[in-house]
Amino acid sequence: MSEDTAAVPAQKSAPIAKESSISALLGSPAGRNTGLVVALVLLCLGGVVTAGDRFADVDNLLTILRLAAVIGVVSVGMTFVITGGGIDLSVGAIVALSSVWATTLATQGIANDLHWIVIVFTALLVGGACGLINGVLIAYGRVVAFIATLASLAAARGLAEIISNRKTQIVNVPGFTAFFDASVLGVPVLVVIFAVLAAGGWVLLNRTTFGRRTFAVGGNPEAARLAGIDVRRHTVWLYTLLGLCCGLAAVMLIARTTTGSATHGGLYELDAIAAVVIGGTLLTGGRGTIAGTVFGVLIFTTLSNVFTLNNLSISAQAVAKGAIIVVAVLLQQRLARRSGA
Amino acid sequence: MTALLSVRGLVKRFPGVTALQGVDFEVRAGEVHCLLGQNGAGKSTLIKVLSGAHRPDEGEIRWRGEVVSFGNPTAAMRSGVAAIYQELDLVAGLSVADNVFLGHELSTMGFSRRSEARRRTRALLDRLGHPDISPDRDVGRLSVAHQQVVSMARALSLDGQLLIMDEPSAVLDPDEVRVLFGIIREITAQGVAVIYISHRLAEIREIGDRVTVLKDGRTVATGLSARETKTSELIALMTGRVLDNVFPQRKPVDPAAPEVLVVRGLADGDRFAGVDLTVHAGEVVGLAGLVGSGRSEILETVYGARKAAEGTVEVDGRKLRRGSVGAAVRAGMGLCPEERKSQGLLLDQAVYRNITVSSLSSFASFGFLDDRAERARSMKLTEALDVRPPGVGRVVRGLSGGNQQKVVLARWLLRECRVLLLDEPTRGVDVGARSEIYELIRELADSGVAVVVVSSDVEEVLGLADRVLVVREGRVVHDGPADEIDESRVLDLVMEGHAA
């Protein structure tokens, strides 16, 4: 939705326009995602060519999706915050804190006595509370988002280390592990959760008053305020939503690794921001796309997978990632200039 | 006499639009050449082409008889052409002297020659009649009028022969405009030419020598006498149609009409105090005052965008919570803010989203928006207001000032608001669209809306309002019917606080 309105001027403009068909296509909303799809397809082709059946294997593809699911959930939440004109550097630390809090012996004890869902609620509660604190600091305390969440990053990971005593906490709650290890029609539960969250996120951003206010607040906070939107309250909601996503990601990470640890979610903030940005969401706010974010996540995860299958180092992956981010942003700027002229 | 600058058949295309399609005119040394045209006529593009910010696609620019092509603004400045934009391009935090020589710093072997820069800045400021501005002041702490003088000094620092000024008076008070005109007269007497752009015809008559009129990217008339050409002729050239009466007819306000907006003893503890204001249904109240007199602050405080320290605001007899825009909007208030682009609009979003942003909940069921209904309702409104080009899916940034203002007005029409607060409703709006907006404001009032208009244009306040309040230094110094006061008395009150 946000996407098709942006393209209208290009389509209805006077016939004098002499844009090349390629840049016109890339500028259109379907086109922007087409670019991402093409990139993903090229990556997959690269995978097939270099790793053959080891890449094009159902199990391998499910592995990619399972890996993408956790960071994907964080990235969907991040899309909201960035579209709303904010930034959150503390997501990785919040994931770590949530994972640790939800797997302490005390929590596990209660979970075993009552129900495994206790772990899920604890993680969501911790994540949501961290997001709420971020939001209140930024909206009502008027601390710049970058600084406020930088502080949370340090504090949350520190707190996670204190609680866990820097030890990895093994999860021993049979119901919990069984539920998240299961598959629905051959698709792992983690992937299903990500798909449902992404779909829900798309609806929330593009079809609801909440989403529309997010675009307004990110596009021009002063105009949004004078139009009668409670910008501060909305900002708090955005960060709380992202905190909840971090809590959920923590649950998924606990399930995937069967542990809670203060080292979980390392550099998630950078991975999530990178995925959001190459997906086409403007870092300055006011424009955002969930579909783009999902593709961004898939591109990065597939890239890692292809590199790993070819025994290339993590360092080489990092270089490739950096290059992709730069190319994607340069491309975006070109398109923005064209449509803005 | 050969022309200093002559332009022939200038064409500039952007993807999707041809902004200039054949502009011809020439500027002589020492003259004030006025460019007239509605918003979207191509004036801004023309300035950018002349000052080197854009390259033309066709046509030629001759500068002192030679064909030139300025690759960038610095190259143009070195040749003696400099533009002063509406949004002044000064760097706050740097001193006046640093700003004047920004981009062409004086230096010897890499070391900046600060005292020399200061001395030359001093000389330039003296030449511009402003020995009161210190070269060492931080530009960010100067008034807008003084910043403009610094911009002019910057333009002249490289031996400028042609100054292009884009609506310099829009941000100035009447007395500051007089000072500006004094400066322009002085520098033109020294042989510098000025291209002057303004929407205010009265100014063009006062300062201009010749006029070129642009319409739809073309020159429709050039070399007209600024003083002798009839207003009706100029307007007809700009709009392509004849306008006779700019201000709509007033209907007498029904004395029995209910009081919709009642403000008592409003004060913000700083800029203004003791403001009483009552607006009846169907009444237009004008607030006149200088920039900085507190008039905009009063409006914003009534709206809740600033928190009041004292006093009450009531709409239909219900007291509003202080400092809450949400409460004001729910009570039926709407504000068209002074800075349309930075305060009023979501520039990169579609027209319909700008219109429905204050009424989202009325289009939603359980939080889900009915996009089709939003577009349909917005379409009706934009058709009724004649927003051009039509189409509610367009991005607002591409619309002209007048059409953008209509979009903001449509936002509050959609809410059927009870009280409409308008801050400088026609700033940056061209003559044709201006009378349409006047018409619209009148129609709204006639339908029972209580309207408050703030404007630095006294003629506008008097032409539009039923009742006029004059604000000076944060106090209301006059409150009376508009037809019992004239422009010169309002100006006296505005400056002196009492009728001379």
Distances from the Cα of B357 to the Cα of A114, A215, B330, B367, angstroms: 46, 10, 13, 14
- What's B5-239's CATH class? alpha beta
Interface residue B53 vs chain A (CB under 8 A): no
Instruction: List, for residues A81-115, the tens digit of each pLDDT value.
Output: 999 999 999 999 999 999 999 999 999 999 999 99
Which pair of structure tokens corresponds to residue B83? 């533009």
pLDDT band (50, 70, 90) for residue A22: low
State yes or no: pLDDT of A341 exceeds 50: no
Q: Sort out which chain B residues have CB atoms less than 8 A from A227's CB and list them.
A: 329, 357-358, 411
Supply the pLDDT for residue A4. Answer: 40
Q: Which residue of B has its CA nearest to A233?
A: B326
Contacts of B249 (CB under 8 A, 6+ apart): B442
Work out the minimum CA distance from A297 to partner chain B, whole angstroms. 26
State yes or no: pLDDT of A340 exceeds 50: no
| Domains of chain A and CATH, by start | 70-327 (1.10.3470)
Work out the minimum CA distance from B37 to partner chain A, whole angstroms. 21
Average predicted confidence (pLDDT) for chain A: 88
Interface residue A318 vs chain B (CB under 8 A): no
Interface residue A207 vs chain B (CB under 8 A): yes
Supply the pLDDT for residue A209. Answer: 94
C-alpha B474/C-alpha B293 separation (Å) is 6
Which amino acid makes up residue A315? S
Of the two residues B195 and A38, the one the predictor is more confident about is B195
Supply the pLDDT for residue B39. Answer: 66
Is the CB of B398 less than 8 angstroms away from the CB of A9? yes
Supply the pLDDT for residue A7. Answer: 38
Which amino acid makes up residue A301? T
Interface residue A215 vs chain B (CB under 8 A): yes
Local structure of residue B320 (DSSP, 8 states): P
Q: Which residue of A has its CA nearest to B412?
A: A227
Work out the minimum CA distance from A118 to partner chain B, whole angstroms. 29
DSSP letter string, B117-161: HHHHHHHHHHHTT-TTS-TTSBGGGS-HHHHHHHHHHHHHTT--S
3-state class (DSSP) for residue B437: helix
Interface residue B91 vs chain A (CB under 8 A): no
* Strands, E assignment, B136-274: 162-166, 193-197, 210-215, 218-225, 259-267
Supply the pLDDT for residue A32. Answer: 67
Contacts of A93 (CB under 8 A, 6+ apart): A152, A153, A154, A155, A156, A157, A160, A265
Supply the pLDDT for residue B179. Answer: 86
Cβ(B284)–Cβ(B466) under 8 Å? yes
**Topology match between the domains B5-239 and B259-496:** yes
> Which residues, in sequence order, are bridge partners of residue B266?
B275
Work out the minimum CA distance from A83 to partner chain B, whole angstroms. 13
Q: Which of B307, B345, B346 to mutate to test the interface with A (most CBs of A within 10 A)?
A: B346
What is the rounded end-to-end Cα distance, in angstroms, of chain A? 22
Pairs of CB atoms within 8 A across A/B: 115
Q: Which of A220, A281, A334 to mutate to test the interface with B (most CBs of B within 10 A)?
A: A220
Q: Which residue of A has its CA nearest to B54?
A: A341
B81: left (phi over 0), alpha (psi -120 to 50) or beta: beta
Supply the pLDDT for residue A303. Answer: 92
Distances from the Cα of A54 to the Cα of A47, A60, A304, B99, B307, angstroms: 9, 7, 14, 63, 65
Contacts of B55 (CB under 8 A, 6+ apart): B49, B69, B71
Mean pLDDT of A225-235: 94
Supply the pLDDT for residue B101. Answer: 87
Which amino acid makes up residue A212? R
C-alpha A39/C-alpha A21 separation (Å) is 19
Q: Which residue of A has its CA nearest to B348?
A: A219
Is the CB of A6 less than 8 angstroms away from the CB of B348? yes
Which amino acid makes up residue A97? L
Is the CB of B397 less than 8 angstroms away from the CB of A340? yes
A220 vs B347, B367, B371: nearest CB: B347
A219 vs B343, B348, B398: nearest CB: B348
- What's B259-496's CATH class? alpha beta
Is the CB of B345 less than 8 angstroms away from the CB of A223? yes
Supply the pLDDT for residue B319. Answer: 94
Buried b (16+ CB within 10 A) or exposed e, B184-204: beebbeeebbbbbbbbebebb
C-alpha B182/C-alpha B157 separation (Å) is 19
State yes or no: pLDDT of A8 exceeds 60: no
Supply the pLDDT for residue A12. Answer: 38
Supply the pLDDT for residue A10. Answer: 38
Is the CB of B346 less than 8 angstroms away from the CB of A215? yes
A227 vs B391, B398, B411: nearest CB: B411
pLDDT by residue for chain B (500 residues), tens only, comes to 578 999 999 998 876 677 888 899 999 999 999 998 876 678 888 988 998 888 899 999 999 888 988 888 888 888 889 888 876 678 888 899 988 888 778 877 777 788 888 999 999 998 888 888 999 999 888 888 888 889 888 888 888 899 999 888 877 777 788 888 998 998 899 899 999 988 777 888 889 999 999 888 889 889 888 888 887 788 778 776 555 456 887 777 777 889 999 999 999 988 899 999 999 999 999 998 877 788 889 999 999 999 999 999 999 999 999 999 999 999 999 999 988 888 999 999 999 999 999 999 999 999 999 999 999 999 999 998 888 888 899 999 888 888 899 999 999 999 989 999 999 998 877 777 888 889 899 999 999 999 999 987 788 888 899 999 999 888 999 999 988 888 778 877 876 654 43
Q: Which of A1, A202, A226, A282 to mutate to test the interface with B (most CBs of B within 10 A)?
A: A226
Interface residue A14 vs chain B (CB under 8 A): yes
Is the CB of A207 less than 8 angstroms away from the CB of B371? yes
Q: Sort out which chain B residues have CB atoms less than 8 A from A6's CB and list them.
A: 348, 395
Cβ(A299)–Cβ(A317) under 8 Å? no
pLDDT band (50, 70, 90) for residue A30: low
* SS3 of A124-193: HHHHHHHHHHHHHHHHCCCCCHHHHHHHHHHHHHHHHHHHHCCCCEECCCHHHHHHHHCEECCEEHHHHH
Work out the minimum CA distance from A129 to partner chain B, whole angstroms. 24
A228 vs B15, B358, B363: nearest CB: B358
Handedness of CA A316, A322, A324, A327 (dihedral sign): negative
Interface residue B303 vs chain A (CB under 8 A): yes
Q: Which of B360, B405, B419 to mutate to test the interface with A (most CBs of A within 10 A)?
A: B360
Residue bearing tokens 């610094």: B150
Supply the pLDDT for residue B159. Answer: 81
Instruction: List, for residues A176-218, the tens digit of each pLDDT value.
Output: 999 998 988 889 999 999 999 999 999 999 999 999 999 999 9
Interface residue A22 vs chain B (CB under 8 A): no
Is the CB of A13 less than 8 angstroms away from the CB of B15? yes
A228 vs B329, B353, B367: nearest CB: B329
Work out the minimum CA distance from B85 to partner chain A, whole angstroms. 18
Domain boundaries, chain B: 5-239, 259-496
**Looking at this predicted complex, what is its ipTM?**
0.81
